[in-house]
Structure 1
Amino acid sequence: MSELVAALPMYDWPEVRGEVDAQWAGLRDVFRQRGIDAPSTIVRRNGELPAVPGGIRDAEGKLIAPDPATLPPDKLDFHKLWLHPALLFAQTCWGPMELGLSRHVQVVGQPSYDAYEGGQGELYSSALVMRTGEGPEVRSPADGRALLPLDLIRGKRFTFNSLDSMSGIIAPTRDLEAAGESLDIFSSRNESGGHRGSIVTVAEGRADIAAIDCESWALAQRFEPAARKVVIVGWTARRKGLPFITARTTPEKTIKAIREALVGLAEQPRIQRVG
């Protein structure tokens, strides 16, 4: 039994857990064919993470996270998952990577977003959504540039999934700054806890606008009734989507095998080789 850890938490909605499990099964089998001791299943709870007595430490021995055994067992702390020394394969976001995670992990690949409006190869964008009737619906720009309806969103209440989210707040912030504006264009800002929560918050009138990454928006159209009450009024610029990562301690031989496996799966819609 493998002692390594794998997780695909970023789009793991309850309604698609079977699809996510199947995605991992495909990756697992290809990894094993290349000699990688990939775990049979992905983790979804802190309680499924191997204990790290004394806590998780960085390359210099500094404590950077507690022992997962001390965390609430039925929740999943993404940041502790990403820092786990037994991490073989997981998704993260470029927001946390830019905020320090990149020092502790290695990037092994990028997913493809070709299947989604607003995506192109390893690039994705976020849909700016408001309640239906409050703005004209727009399509994703073919050139991948930001499409910001500044007059429409000025003075509105903005909700976002988390402060370290590239798609939910960092990308909109950068696009607004490029247009000579800032988050101050909004009358208020509040954290919803997730893209799905942001859609519900807007639909229920507790906020006016949110930025939802294009794959989460596709999931919402399939499974979230509140998505029928909102409309896309703008788009952020395309940027690199969620990277696949492994622990900083993963041997180079294993990283090479992972990358080769991803190259072999490149024709599938969700996997691309790291650039």
Structure 2
Amino acid sequence: MVSSVSQRNDQNPGTSDFVAALPMYDWPEMRSEVDAQWARLRDAFRQRGIDAPQTIARVNADLWPVDGGIRDAAGKVIAPDPATLPPDELDFHGLWLHPALLFAQTCWGPMELGLSEHVQVVGQPSYDAYEGGQGELYSSAIVMCADGSPSVRAPDDGSPLVSLDLLRNMRFTFNHSDSMSGFVGLTRDLEALGESLNMFSERSESGGHRASIVAIAEGKADVAAIDCQSWALARRFEPAAQKVAAVGWTRRRKGLPFITARATPEKIVVALREAVAAIA
């Protein structure tokens, strides 16, 4: 990218020129665990000579300003200058497209919609610790109001478990329309069964997996697809999850990739990949 990165107001001699973030599972209750995850990654990167930032970015104010907006290799503006965005929010696309991005998580939904042209994939995390996950693959729990019924187990072979009769005419809520786990994956599983999202009576965008679970618990929606790690977090931290159960599972697919900017030098990309592989 040809964007010009400006210095932040909090610049000091020890500040890295890079930015990094782990936003996808950074729930308020998870902050200390996410910070510990970054510390392990940061130290592994620094051992390989990479000037990794001390802390991760969590809001737009943590990102370096980019004069005139973020541009692609042809000079076209593809995202606004982070300094012009609400400082206490985080614009995911602005983060992913940032020319100083060293390391972040994204989703294969946005990657398929064009993000892959502007970034490089560093690696994939393991989902072995979560029901519905296996290695770099994950699936989504299809959740509905529990009504006293226990959750169904994820198939051991990673095949989809989708009950069309159970889902038909339900109100479907999803985090974002470009989300592989919350929207695209279920859409593809339904299409493989000869159905589509038109089987639902309503569709609404919640803004996040946690919000989808709350909407179902409050009776504002009937069904959602929640990636297996977010589903595990919800059962740990979100009281509304006690009123919700998994009634099915989507097919296992490749999980959230770690990415770096397209402009990150090859030598650094190789070192990032070695570090991620070493601590995976």
**Residue equivalent to 2:101:** 87
**Residue equivalent to 2:117:** 103
| Matched pairs, number | 266
Q: Check whether the contact 1:135–1:233 (CA below 8 A) recurs between aligned residues.
A: no
**Residue equivalent to 1:199:** 213
Give 1:149's match in structure 2, choosing from 150, 163, 184. Answer: 163
**Residue equivalent to 1:138:** 152
**Residue equivalent to 1:23:** 37
Q: Distance in 2 between matches of 1:44 and 1:216?
A: 18
**Deviation sequence 1:60-108 (CA, Å, 0-9, x none):** 1111111111111110000000000000000000000001100000000
Q: Distance in 2 between matches of 1:263 and 1:222?
A: 28
**Residue equivalent to 2:180:** 166
Q: Secondary structure at the match of 2:50?
A: coil
**Deviation sequence 1:97-122 (CA, Å, 0-9, x none):** 00110000000000000000000000
Q: Distance in 1 between matches of 2:170 and 2:130?
A: 27
Letter aligned with residue 188 of structure 1: E
Matched, 1:124 2:128: no
Unaligned runs of 5+ residues in structure 2 are 1-14
- CA RMSD, Structure 1 to Structure 2 (Å): 0.9
Letter aligned with residue 112 of structure 1: S
Letter aligned with residue 190 of structure 2: L
Give 2:269's match in structure 1, choosing from 242, 255, 273. Answer: 255
Q: Secondary structure at the match of 1:211?
A: strand
Q: Secondary structure at the match of 2:86?
A: coil
Letter aligned with residue 89 of structure 2: K
**Residue equivalent to 1:60:** 74
TM-score (norm 2): 0.94
Q: Check whether the contact 1:135–1:152 (CA below 8 A) recurs between aligned residues.
A: no
Unaligned runs of 5+ residues in structure 1 are 267-275
Q: Distance in 2 between matches of 1:66 and 1:91?
A: 20
Q: Check whether the contact 1:129–1:231 (CA below 8 A) recurs between aligned residues.
A: yes
Q: Distance in 2 between matches of 1:65 and 1:150?
A: 39
Identity %: 75
Q: Secondary structure at the match of 1:32?
A: helix
TM-score (norm 1): 0.95
